[in-house]
Amino acid sequence: MTHSIKWIFTTSHKPNKEQIDKAYKLSKEYKSKYRNRRHIRDIDKENGMFIVERDFTVKFADKNSEIFYHPSISKIRYNNYESSENDYLIKTIDATPEATVLDLTMGLGSEALFMANYVKEVTGVEASFPLYLVVKEGLNNYNFKQEWMKKASKKIKIINDNYKNILMNIEDNSYDVVYCDPMFENPQMKSSPLNSIRQLAVYDKISQEDFEHMVRIAKKRVVIKARENDSLWDKFTFDEKVGSKNSGVYFGVIKIK
């Protein structure tokens, strides 16, 4: 994706040479600006900047929030699934070791990491450049403590683009599963792990054309996640709809004939 914003790349305080080199390299790669951390101004903080940390992950910070990579609830979901073999996402994508998954709305990547442990490969799409870069550098540099996370992170590819653009340019039957988890129309704001990214996320709704492309691209299944009271359920017909009444989150499944 082409970016019109000239981002600021810098480092954490008292950086080593390797951090400085990486921040400078990223600034050139993304046609942006490198600035020594000691010379950061208030305007840089207001507009947003990428900070190369000592472990070489990248944090995004602006006046409203800080976004950093963390495997988040993927560890909890993995532990629950390994003990119970029950998870709506893994069930609805019908995960197999040979499956390829296109995750159209990657966000901070916790679901992509979780899915990647049970499939051959996950290709994640993220329209927000700050989220894309934080997750990309996180997957490459985060010090995963668990072996399954290390292996799963190597099976993820990430693309910075709007899924609406991506869908139009993918050939028929390219992925076994197409998964889409758009930002909920009626989110629960209280204690949500997504609150930190809401101002950076893209809120495009799934159109009929998008839906048809998903079905065209998928070999086996299309899975869309939404809250019970989102309008998506009135717009499209699914073969299955499974989820939790307690959370109000459901997965709609289209099985490709």
pLDDT digits (tens, 9 = 90+) for 129-156: 999 999 999 999 999 999 999 999 999 9
| pLDDT on residue 65 | 80
Query: How high is the mean pLDDT in each 10-residue block of the chain (257 residues)?
Result: 72 96 97 92 79 97 88 92 94 98 95 98 95 97 96 98 95 98 62 52 81 98 94 94 90 95
CA gap 91, 221 in Å, rounded: 11
pTM of the model: 0.91
> Count of H helices and E strands in the chain?
10, 12
Radius of gyration of the chain (CA): 19
| pLDDT on residue 2 | 46
Burial (CB count <10 Å: 0-12, 13-18, 19+), residue 212: exposed
List, in order of start, the domains of the chain with CATH numbers.
Answer: 8-63 (no CATH), 74-255 (3.40.50.150)
| pLDDT on residue 187 | 54
| pLDDT on residue 191 | 45
| pLDDT on residue 189 | 46
CA-wise closest residue to 22 among 149, 118, 119, 137: 137
Beta strand residue intervals within 95-217, DSSP E: 100-103, 121-126, 156-160, 175-180
| pLDDT on residue 16 | 97
Residues 6 or more apart whose CB falls under 8 angstroms from that of 125 comprise: 102, 103, 104, 105, 106, 158, 159, 161, 162, 163, 166
